[in-house]
Amino acid sequence: MILIKTKKDIDYIRESCRIVAETLQLMKGNVRAGITTLELDQIAEDYILSNGGRAAFKGYSQGGSSIDYPGSICASIDEEVVHGIPGSRVLKNGEIISLDVGVEKNGYFGDAALSVAVGELTEEKKKLMEVTEKSLYLGIEQAREGNKVHDISAAVQEYVEANGFSIVRDLCGHGVGKFLHEDPAVPNFGNKGTGPKLKNGMTLAIEPMVNTGKFNVKTARDGWTILTVDGLASAHFEHTILINDSKPEILTVQ
């Protein structure tokens, strides 16, 4: 069931999204060669708690198929697409790190992600990041009352593939608000004019995951980390948006 949010709902979602956006920018400012993903995780958790929130990912369960998620953030490097568990891995110059944050406060959620360059990237990795971020905003532009969910999907897919990259198909965006993951699913590929109709009051997490090589992915032995099958780099950007006055409003922007 797709939930349409009230003004009260939206006010609470805005607050969680504010914390998400500020946490991401704080971590982005601390990304450098030599820092560990666990150190970034601690920075994020401390900030979230200081704002009266809770790290939504910590303790998240996949229904017994793996351990409950142990981190406050997802920190995914290069060939790690999403859901990378923070740990002792040290960031190195030339890597891309995807930082994904979810926050729950007052019973409402916000969710967003960005990819950050560690030092100087190759031209291919720079283009990968630029195309992924641009595809997110092209998808957001389609999140308007009266459009269909797959109008978002098609806009993302067309731009990504026109630039020579591939869109991950096994994972998708989602509704967000009273729950971290709600209906509808928001895939990053699809046909225009299909899928559920978009309405004012819907809050969606739109999140393109784009691979340098093939779109195929696999799950690591830890049960969480999603990897590119070919070992090539991936990038990931995400915003929580509200369809408001028939147009999209980005809630996770600082």
Phi, psi of 137 (to 5 degrees): -70, -30
Report the distance separating Cα 249 and Cα 240, nearest Å.
Answer: 9
Q: For residue range 176-218, what is the model confidence (pLDDT) as tens digits?
A: 999 999 999 999 999 999 999 999 999 999 999 999 999 999 9
Instruction: Assign 3 a pLDDT band (cuts: 50, 70, 90).
Output: very high
Domain boundaries, the chain: 7-250
State whether residue 120 is helix, strand or coil.
coil
Instruction: Assign 237 a pLDDT band (cuts: 50, 70, 90).
Output: very high
Nearest to 109 by CA among 28, 191, 181, 192: 181
**Exposure string over 166-176, b if 16+ CB within 10 A, otherwise e:** bbbeebbbbbb
**Under CATH, what is the fold of the domain 7-250?**
Creatine Amidinohydrolase (3.90.230)
pTM of the prediction?
0.97
Q: For residue range 172-182, what is the model confidence (pLDDT) as tens digits?
A: 999 999 999 99
Report the distance separating Cα 244 and Cα 154, nearest Å.
Answer: 21
Nearest to 160 by CA among 225, 237, 101: 237
Share of the chain above pLDDT 70, in %: 100
Report the distance separating Cα 86 and Cα 28, nearest Å.
Answer: 15
Q: For residue range 19-64, what is the model confidence (pLDDT) as tens digits?
A: 999 999 999 999 999 999 999 999 999 999 999 999 999 999 987 7
Report the distance separating Cα 132 and Cα 188, nearest Å.
Answer: 11
Question: 62: which 2 tokens?
Answer: 């996949």
